[in-house]
Amino acid sequence: MAPKLVVTAQGQDFDANTLQKWKDEGFDVSYLALNGPRHGDGHGLQHLADAFEFGETYAIVGQSSPRVRL
């Protein structure tokens, strides 16, 4: 099973080339758009753990601007 990678940023879109590079490296990549006031950003992140199984390998990467290339 591929390790999971969740990329988060404010905005509905993220650089598709960056996401594809992670996929090419063998990661199961998803994007979580964080919208709304800054103090509420963690709400969506708190529920991510519910989707993961015990012992599963994953990473969460936060990006301050969806237009910045990694």
Model confidence over 43-65: pLDDT tens digits? Answer: 566 666 667 777 777 777 776 65
Start-to-end Cα distance in the chain: 25
Model confidence over 7-48: pLDDT tens digits? Answer: 888 778 888 999 999 999 999 998 888 775 554 545 566 666
More confident residue, 1 or 17: 17
**Cβ–Cβ < 8 Å for 57, 3:** yes
Predicted structure pTM score: 0.66
One-letter-per-residue 3-state SS of 31-67: EEECCCCHHHCHHHHHCHHHHCCCCCCEEEEEECCCC
**Cβ–Cβ < 8 Å for 64, 14:** no
